[in-house]
Amino acid sequence: MKYDTIRAVLWEDEHLKLLDQRRLPAEETYIEYDEPLAVAGAIRDMVVRGAPAIGVTAAYGVVLAARRRYAAQPEGWREAIRADFETLAASRPTAVNLFWALERMGRVMDTVSGEPVAPLLAEAQRIHEEDVAANRRMGELGAALIAAEGRGVLTHCNTGSLATGGYGTALGVIRSAFEQQRIAQVYADETRPWLQGARLTAWELVKDGIPVTLLADGAGAALMREGRVSWLIVGSDRIAANGDVANKIGTYHAAIAARYHGVKVMVVAPTSTVDMSLPGGDRIPIESRSADEVLGCGGRPVAAPGAKAWNPAFDVTPAELIDAIVTEKGVVEQPTRAKMADMMKKPVL
């Protein structure tokens, strides 16, 4: 299918395979996993990253856990597997898709009697397929919001096939809108410190033949001032009940610049990213990562020895700065608590 050639997470030959995103774009290497501790390590160390991809990976991690635990203890596997759920849940704190996927797998586990691997694998594959379908739907809904004037859009981090089951959230909208000739040019923030934009988004777009121009994260406001972009389009790791959005560090900063310059802000995320249990964004746990990521670049130290660094991986953009949240259930314009609750009650379109 057009623009859908990359798969970061694969279940093949009874194994989980993850495309090692730390090595892209220089190397395309898949690592094979057969036990949950290593899967949790892969999420923590960002072999795989991006909220929906983390959820899909954790679901396959549960399949691997069940296979090992059931083979070792056909009677006591349910007790034993709890430790694996805890290890997977402790891998990264912000993307709620991880906890959502573990809960879904837990519900299937509660209903199985006998051999658990087949039903758990079926559920993990459903989670994976549903994510791709949600992305396709969001692609259509989000693209329809973009006027057919062929201007540029700005995106932050990587929200494409690499960050999801396939196709992408914000990058899915960009793919669909490009196909409909609504977008002529994609500007991508390089996304320090991990360079998801420079390494991953640019790699995906170049592969698809979609024109991409990288900019330093601090250049976004100047780009907007020149009138080069009509929308800032981003994904999310967790959306609170009032529409506040946690996403890659730098999103908040870009959204403030967008409001000042009359550039609209679109957040694209499946409902598996919405956490209705949190009233507002101030309750979203924000992952703090190693100072070394900021003190260096590409694994090489660059900062003055002795300097410290602050490295929150995500920030929260308040709902009032967001023009539209696009999910597979529909579009919420100028999000409020009531509009979010209504959208969540809808069936998938």
**With binding defined as CB under 6 A, does residue 199 bind ligand MRU?**
no
- Cβ 81 to ligand MRU shortest distance, Å: 25
Token representation of residue 323: 């023009």
CA distance linking residue 223 with residue 97, whole number of Å: 32
Q: Which of 126, 115, 180 is nearest to 150 (CA)?
A: 180
- Cβ 236 to ligand MRU shortest distance, Å: 6
Is 248 marked as binding a ligand? yes
Token representation of residue 303: 């900062």
156 within 8 A of 231, measured Cβ to Cβ: no
CA 261 centroid distance within chain: 27
**With binding defined as CB under 6 A, does residue 247 bind ligand MRU?**
yes
**With binding defined as CB under 6 A, does residue 335 bind ligand MRU?**
no
- Cβ 227 to ligand MRU shortest distance, Å: 25
Residue whose CB is nearest to ligand MRU in the complex, by number:
235
Sign of the Cα torsion 91, 94, 99, 101 reads: negative
Burial of 104 (0-12, 13-18, 19+ CB in 10 A): buried
Residue 169 or residue 176: which is nearer to ligand MRU going by CB? 169
**Of these, 11, 91, 132, 159, which contacts ligand MRU (CB under 6 A)?**
159
Q: Which of 138, 52, 202 is nearest to 330 (CA)?
A: 138
**Of these, 9, 40, 42, 51, which contacts ligand MRU (CB under 6 A)?**
51
CA distance linking residue 249 with residue 105, whole number of Å: 30
Query: How wide is the angle at C-alpha 9 spanned by C-alphas 22 and 81, nearest 5°?
Result: 105
**With binding defined as CB under 6 A, does residue 164 bind ligand MRU?**
yes
Residue 116 or residue 168: which is nearer to ligand MRU going by CB? 168
Token representation of residue 294: 């900021």
Give the pairing type, strands 274-275 and 238-240: parallel
- Cβ 280 to ligand MRU shortest distance, Å: 19
Catalytic residue among 84, 237, 275, 315: 237
Residue 49 or residue 182: which is nearer to ligand MRU going by CB? 49
Is 49 marked as binding a ligand? yes
CA distance linking residue 117 with residue 123, whole number of Å: 10
Q: Which of 197, 255, 183, 193 is nearest to 221 (CA)?
A: 255
Is 51 marked as binding a ligand? yes
**Site for ligand MRU (CB under 6 A): how many residues?**
17
Q: Which residues within the stretch 70-109 sit at the binding site for ligand MRU (CB under 6 A)?
A: 95
**With binding defined as CB under 6 A, does residue 169 bind ligand MRU?**
yes
CA distance linking residue 6 with residue 30, whole number of Å: 12
**With binding defined as CB under 6 A, does residue 327 bind ligand MRU?**
no
**With binding defined as CB under 6 A, does residue 58 bind ligand MRU?**
no
Residue 66 or residue 162: which is nearer to ligand MRU going by CB? 162
Residue 84 or residue 237: which is nearer to ligand MRU going by CB? 237
Token representation of residue 82: 């709890």
- Cβ 334 to ligand MRU shortest distance, Å: 21
**With binding defined as CB under 6 A, does residue 155 bind ligand MRU?**
no
Considering only 44-52, 124-132, 292-300, 319-327, which stretch makes contact with ligand MRU by CB under 6 A?
44-52
Q: Which residues within the stretch 201-240 sit at the binding site for ligand MRU (CB under 6 A)?
A: 235-237
Q: Which residues 6+ apart lie within 8 Å of 56 measured at CB? A: 9, 101, 124, 127, 128, 131, 164, 165
**With binding defined as CB under 6 A, does residue 49 bind ligand MRU?**
yes
Catalytic (active site) residue 237: yes
Q: Could you give the count of Cα atoms lying within 13 Å of 142 in the half-sphere of its Cβ?
A: 38
Catalytic residue set: 237
* Interacting residues with ligand MRU (CB under 6 A): 49-52, 95, 157, 159, 163-164, 169, 196, 235-237, 247-248, 313
